[in-house]
Structure 1
Amino acid sequence: MGKNQYTSNVESGSTRTEIKHWVELFFSVKVIAMNSHRLPRKGRRMGPIMGHTMYYRRMIITLQPGYSIPPLRKKRT
């Protein structure tokens, strides 16, 4: 948050322009840059069959100065 950057995991089928549009619409902010990378899949064993988890992409969203995204999670009491 020091560089006005936020990270989020999204489905791998989502495009950068879709994510940028939804972030700007939902949070009323201006996005100036987006970077992404695919996270490695993890193996899951279900009996004798070896499976894998779904692919995810981690998006690093940079906002214009003066904009911020409020925290979404509330602390449990």
Structure 2
Amino acid sequence: MDKLKNQVITGKSIRLLQQNQYTFQVDLKLTKTGMKDWIERFFDVKVEGINSSRMTSKNGKKKNKLNITYVSYKKMIVRLKKNYFIPLFMSQT
């Protein structure tokens, strides 16, 4: 899928893996339902919920000196139901 960019690897995302939550960087146009359908079909898992946020990259100014915030990417945290996991990122314990 070209709308799924990559997995986000940070301290928080690694802690979320222990709670069966996976963090992905996705295309700005991708919706929660589209992400849920794709994850469930591709990895054969059941999604419990998805949180999404638009991440800003920098602030800029235009000619009239108004502050403008640029959105660079969208981040989604996918929470799976119990007893499901994505084997690509975490082995079953």
TM over 0.5: yes
Deviation at 1:58, TM superposition (A): 0.4
Q: Structure 1: state its 5+ residue gaps.
A: 44-52, 73-77
Deviation beyond 4 Å, 4+ runs, structure 1: none
Indicate the residue corresponding to 1:57 in structure 2. 74
On the 8 A contact 2:54/2:71 being kept in 1, the answer is no
Amino acid at match of 2:76: M
Indicate the residue corresponding to 2:85 in structure 1. 68
Q: Comparing both chains, which one has the higher relative contact order based on Cα–Cα distances under 8 Å and sequence gaps of 6 or more?
A: 1
Amino acid at match of 2:74: R
Q: Please point out which of 49, 71, 76 is paired with 1:33.
A: 49
Indicate the RMSD between aligned Cα atoms, in angstroms. Answer: 1.8
On the 8 A contact 2:56/2:71 being kept in 1, the answer is no
Q: Structure 2: state its 5+ residue gaps.
A: 1-16, 60-69
More helix per residue: 2
Identity %: 41
In 2: Cα distance, 1:23 partner to 1:55 partner: 23
Aligned length in residues: 63
